[in-house]
Amino acid sequence: MTFHGTTVIAVRREGQLAMGGDGQVTMGNTVMKGRAKKVRKIYEGKILVGFAGGTADAFTLLDRFEGKVKEYGGDITRAAVELAKDWRTDRVLRRLEAMLLVADMEKTLLISGTGDVIEPDEGVIAIGSGGLFGKEKNEATQTHYKFLPIATSDFIFAYTVERFGFWGAFGLIGLYAFLIIHLMTLNFKLKEDYFAQVITSGFSLLIFFYMSIN
């Protein structure tokens, strides 16, 4: 049995930091618990850590991150980078399915199993879990509770992942990759038509950049 958490959000404003979670733990489509503590304090209360995804996996990563923080004297950026590196390359850790949101009074970072460490430009960031196959529309916390300001445009990927889960996100990325590869293939085939090359390469780059950002 795999247990999944749902949503954690961090907000930074005017020198103040707040992080909270919805407390919901589900098994499949069944809510098993509504008061789970998804946000923990570490390093003498100076750092907040929130998690979403497999509960056991998240706690394993939380312990590993806490060890990294102590090793690097409270430097969450260095600790996050080292954890992301281990998470991606270690044969055991890379099987873990979770995401971590970590923050101190200076920085907020999102850590994923793909090796990414992301610091948001704005003062708000949230993570969630749609599991393997996603959630029903009325169970999608990101949009149902309006955590995403504009779910149909700038935050479309977050909405897609929650609604259709890991496989839906994988399929969407695959479709975009297929489209980009197809356009680039056309670009190579149309060597004698400079205008067509400009159009195909331009569209492929445009799609790639929009996909990467969103």
Only one residue has tokens 């929009």, namely 210
Cα–Cα distance, 202 to 198 (Å, whole number): 6
| C-alpha distances in Å from residue 67, one per residue of 56, 91, 193 | 17, 19, 58
Q: Tell me if residue 89 is catalytic.
A: no
Q: Where are the alpha helices (DSSP H) in 2-155?
A: 55-71, 76-89, 141-144
SS3 of 67, please? Answer: helix
The residues pairing with 8 across neighbouring beta strands, listed in sequence order, are 21, 127
Cα–Cα distance, 6 to 101 (Å, whole number): 13
> Do residues 142 and 162 make contact, with C-beta atoms less than 8 angstroms apart?
yes
Q: Which residue of the set 6, 26, 55, 108 is catalytic?
A: 6
Cα–Cα distance, 182 to 149 (Å, whole number): 33
So which residues are the catalytic ones? 6
